[in-house]
Structure 1
Amino acid sequence: MIVKIIKWILLLVAFKVVVTLIVGQLYIDPRRDIPARAQLCRAFGPNVVFIGTSRTQYGIDPAFFDSLNHQKTRSYNFGIFSLSPYSSIQIADDMLSASPAVKTIYIELSALDYSTVALPPQQVVRDAIFRARVLAGCSHIGLQEKTGSFLAGLNTTLFQMVSIAPQVLSVKKALNPGTDPIEGRANLLTNGYQPVTAALFKTNERIAANKTSTEQMLALRPQTQRNTYFISRINQLITRATRLGKRVIFYYPNNITRGEQQILSQVAPFLPEENLIRLPNQPEFNGLFKPENLFDAHHLNRNGAAIYTRFLQEESARR
């Protein structure tokens, strides 16, 4: 029975690989495909790279960052939808070796709910192991919640390995692009940024919930409980960059969900201050949650990106 199940899984994986290769000739969304985005990044030739989720994609304006640096930097926005912490660390690690011109790498400090949409098939299991070990290190999360989260992640992993849903979505976008900033076609500038001018008319419950979780994250007090595995992976990357004469700096995203706050509260307080950028104080902090600076509950529009980018540049200059 086990042998038969393995054969069926291998058959489904092979089918997905074939479908992926075929659809890849039609349309690839570089906001969801790491190899495609890496190729665009190399073509741009940056010396500074921002790696993160869709919050980075819409929240950091490289051209504005470079102008504030008087063009001493040439930065690239490597935002990938639903990018996992494992993948962001892996991308940065690969970049340290393969991109000599890149001297500084900024990485969004995130711990989003489980998603493997951007994962290459060969990294799905590794990502699941990373997530499991991070969860195991969260001493304040109960066993039942950990188990539920792990099983949900395992289900997502298995589904992602065999599902052709992302490829179906790519075909739909190729045939009917749409205008939605996220669900529509990618509209990236050469520096990887996708500006959005749309804005919300009023605040909502999700914005308020994100703001509360983010404020709790900023109000952390020194504690003894720490996620040793997650911290060790981050410190290993920082150490490797230092040996190569480069810098890796982690930064808070423009908002933090409740689930992220539970994990990152045992990570951020233990990272080196010179390698971590938190969020601004008032009034800039409130600006990140004003509806006129957002196009949805999680993502900044062009106005919000200007506030966020300026803060990151100012903090970077201090380092």
Structure 2
Amino acid sequence: MVIPDGSDDDTLPNLRIDQNTRVIYQGFTGKAATKNAKDTIEYGTNIVGGVSPGKGGQEHLGLPVFNTVREAMEQVKPQASSVFVPAQFAAKAIIESIEAEVPLVVAVAEHIPVQDMLRVQEVLRTQSRTRLVGPNCPGIIAPEQCRIGIMPYKQYAKGVVGIVSKSGTLSYEAVGATTKAGLGQSIVVGMGGDMLPGTTLADGLKLFFDHADTKGIIVIGEIGGEAELNAAEVIREYKRTTPNPKPIIAMVAGRTAPEGKTMGHAGALLSPRDASAEAKAKALEAAGAVVVPHPGLMGSEMKRLMAVD
């Protein structure tokens, strides 16, 4: 299987969320979406409504409900959609947002069938308006400005470090370390562990290279796939062509993982064809990233690197 390396670079700017980003929910009146939306509204995210087929014209949490994403686009003009529908219906919901030309779609669901995600990837490749984050990911957050996803947001702090990660848990640890170091985060992107992700580690890196509020970058990979090797190529080219490159810290989890065993989610599977975690870490280091053994070191190490730079 050929795993696509994200969608078109033209949609990378759609990841630059902030306090003005207008967000809708798909599956808005469902239990999970309702709980998440309450927390997210309290956080300060600009939620402008949601979609629940058959419930259009109603209000939920004081916000309008629409039957379709296209109706929502016409009436409240969202810039992002948070997909909170069960895995078996998630691909259809994602495609609906792509067809309505929502700039950013975030899908947190895991266990979406591979054939469904192949269809989503085919649709993504036919257009240049929509950027997908996920599925099987915590989402994306600009701390203290905009949260689209399920991350435990209380430890996040507005700041200067951009983080892109395959692992949700390790991204939380990197956030904790950079918050403790007083650096905070500019944007944190969860690539997620799906075999067919909408946004990759390389995509996240490209976002941060040109993001004025990001002064340092953290990239977290793991076993399975080639996202880390692609990220290494992007870092090498960036370091080669940029006069004053931003410091980049990298980590690759799963160095002791057994071959052929899925570790937590579909994408974290070390197959005989894959590069090992050790090989990926060496590639990132050779490209110019500073590789650390665990995320607890990321805050202090980034502080040191930024002081040098």
TM range (shorter): 0.3 to 0.5
Higher helix share: 1
Higher strand share: 2
Relative contact order, higher structure (CA 8 A, sep 6+): 1
Q: Larger C-alpha radius of gyration, 1 or 2? A: 1
TM-score by length of 1: 0.38
TM-score by length of 2: 0.39
